[in-house]
A and B are shown apart, each in its own frame.
Chain A
Amino acid sequence: MINDFVLFGVLPYVALVLFLLVSISRYRTKGFSYSSLSSQFLENQHHFWGSVPFHYGVLGVLAGHLLAVVAPRAILSWNAEPLRLMALELSGLALALVTLVGLVNIVVRRLENRLARRVTTGLDWLVYGLLLLQVGSGIGVAVVHGWGSSWFATNLTPWLWSLARLSPEVGFVASLPWLVKLHIVSAFVLIGVFPFTRLVHVLVVPNPYLWRRAQVVIWNRPRIHRGHGG
């Protein structure tokens, strides 16, 4: 019981506090390093089969998790029909497999290609190890303990909301199988190490590009007349 409390009542807070404080302080003091070190320039073929499936897969999987947290009732009523439940489960599993294929390609590429290996740091390997554990355990859960979309909504969503209310109700997770617990714990470890690693690029997604004008002009002195160009 005490272990459960540490893992599901304390660890999430430690991870979230680390995430918040380090993300902000690194942005302010080490802004230069706030990106993912792309290696596409060094190896341009295999890169496609790693990066593209991984990113699209993981975005889909994370969107599914988020949906279960914010709209558990909608998920449950969707799952009331067995056919719809099957469809949801299978598409989740498919996305996870796409993620895994991408991740394995990423790791193999960085092991095989001597140039890509040169720019892979110890922290990168830690990230890839944790991601493999995370995706692997997630797929394991989906295969061994089916209908996860339903019991996520009934057990994990209330637990996550209890964390948000600062009164963790560990009971919701204590009875879950060890594989699910592993998936949860490694998720929070990932959140904790997130701000120290290349994962920070998620926080600086360049969305302003889509609505800024084409040319950027920076003036040192204020201008009297400003044209259309910037």
Chain B
Amino acid sequence: MIEVNKVCKRFGKLEVLREVSATFERGKSYAIIGPNGSGKTTLIKSILGMVLPDSGSIHVDSVSIRGHWNYRRQIGYMPQIGRYPDNMKIGQLLRMIRDLRPDATTTDEELIRSLHLEELYQKRMHTLSGGTRQKVSAAISFLFNPSILILDEPTAGLDPLSVETLKEKILKEKEKGKVFLITSHILSDLDELSTDILYIEDGVIRYTNTMVGLKKETGEDKLGRAIAGMMRKDFRLQP
């Protein structure tokens, strides 16, 4: 379980997160949506300890993450833009990451197979297209069988077949009781993948609900329409 408590972060003059509080529970899958630059990625990176909040606290399984790094054993992270050492081959990269996790006894290589990465092992990272990089990121995030998965725009740039492969994998792992935090602008994907929704704008969480609750409230059965309906009703006045 992840608890985010009144987290604030500013980059220079820009307030990216303003007293953001949220709880993410096991067995649920959270869709984090919001306009570009609303603070989604910063929130995610704060949970990962890559961005250090100015104030507020984050607890993973009731332990504060400040100054800690061991909790990241449980987290698989797929970045929005996977950036990897340029002159490394895919095979070398995967071998290196395995080498850096001597604690991991079993690895989950299903995605490496189903995304056909083995055939690309000899390719250097800088020759890869954006989509292939995304595949590598996806494979790495699931590799150590983490109980928390944080996926930042996982389906952006992937071909339709790979999108389906990845979605199947996400649904399969969700069944095992893992927590998913997924940001995306492709609402139809989130519709299938998530149970709960967080709407964030200007660094403030404006709306949280379960998917079912949201659809009931707005009387729509597609997420896209439900969100539009929600925005129309000016939910911003709600606390």
Tell me, yes or no, whether A binds B. no
Residues of A within 8 A of B (CB): none
Residues of B within 8 A of A (CB): none
